[in-house]
Copies of this chain bind each other. A is one copy, B any other.
Amino acid sequence: QSNVSLYGIVDLGLVSEHGGANGALTKLTSGIGSVSRFGLRGVEDLGGGLSAIFTLESGVKADTGEQDSAGVLFQRQAWMGLRSTTWGTLTLGRQYTPFYKVFSDVADPFATSYAGTARNLFPVSGATTRASNTVKYATPNLRGWSAEAAYTFGEQAGSSTAGRQTGFAAGYEQGPLVVRLGRLDRNSDVAGGAQHDSGSNTILAANYDFKIVKAYAAYERDKGYGVGTLANTSNPYGGVAPTPSTDARELLVGVTMPLGRGSLIASHIDKDDRSGYNQDARQDAIGYVYPLSARTSVYTAYAKIHNKNGAGYTVGNNAEAGSGDSAVNLGLRHTF
């Protein structure tokens, strides 16, 4: 038998976007639900409850064949480490931030997928999602409690602080309840160059499975330099370009609900920009996912954003930033 598993997802569908300055756009898009990908992963039992583990995961655009990031084959994940049933898990490499896992796994009923992805209004991109050169430690689950801490090296000669990033998450999971706090601190200094305030993202999220519905709620605070990157940076609505916020709050409430053989998803998000620009926004989203098998599903989703005071948020999906303030999705997702 082999020491490695080859796995992946192919997700393709139609996206129709409206409301952008350049006009409507209908397109075939990869990764609406889950970014299309392939990966290699392995587990080796070293005895005594200890295992060696690794993952190399590549994101691809299945509509064009492109890599997610030219030259970065395993842009999604590239790490290895040791996992102990007693002592927890230590991993090295390019990994999800503890903050992001709270956001995607606990906060967002859309799990960052489809038109309704909470990424449209929550500032989650780049190293907020995944960080290279990172050492991460996760505790075992202790009676429902667990925590993670991560350290990302700045790797700049002559400075141990410039460019570094730290992350933390902790939470409780028992029966129908999950509650979790995530935090990210980023130092954007350049050794011998620009010095910035550091920026932080903090999220508190919970969900509860009432069986008839599963309810979601999350609150996030983003403060400081570089915390508010816009998903679509090309001024999608024309006129004066929006200003990324350096002081914002986001509030999400949402549900998932079994409906027929499928699952209905809905969320509402309020973004409160506390900078002088006061570029607030809100989003309403609904989606439906219907399984053709355990590995294959069809889906549809719709979301609409209301931008205020020249805010420039767009309805995207898991793979693209979007070009307008509303979008419809219809697609197919297959895992292997």
Contacts and interface: CB of A to CB of B under 8 A. Distances in A.
A24 B158 contact: yes
A72 B79 contact: no
Contacts of A64: 72, 78, 94, 132-133
Contact of A66 (B61, B73, B158, B191): B73
Interface string A68-93: 00111111111111100000000011
A157 B323 contact: yes
Contacts of A6: 2, 4, 6, 40
A13 interface: yes
A158 B22 contact: yes
B67 A72 contact: yes
Interface string A150-161: 000101111110
A293 interface: yes
B334 A27 contact: no
Given A23-B157, A60-B78, A92-B332, A132 B72 contact: no
A61 B73 CA distance: 9
Main secondary structure on A side of the interface with B: strand
- Interface magnitude class on chain A: 35 or more
Contacts of A20: 157
B78 A67 contact: no
A156 to B, nearest CB: 8
Contact of A62 (B56, B160, B295): B56
Contacts of A191: 22
Contacts of A334: 42, 44, 52, 54, 80
Contacts of A134: 28
A27 B153 contact: yes
Interface of A: 2-8, 10-13, 17, 20, 22-28, 30, 36, 38, 40, 42, 44, 46-47, 50, 52, 54, 56, 58, 60-67, 70-82, 92-94, 132-135, 153, 155-160, 191, 292-293, 295-296, 323, 332, 334-336
10 nearest CB pairs, A to B: A23-B158, A70-B71, A22-B157, A65-B74, A64-B132, A65-B78, A3-B336, A12-B92, A10-B80, A28-B133
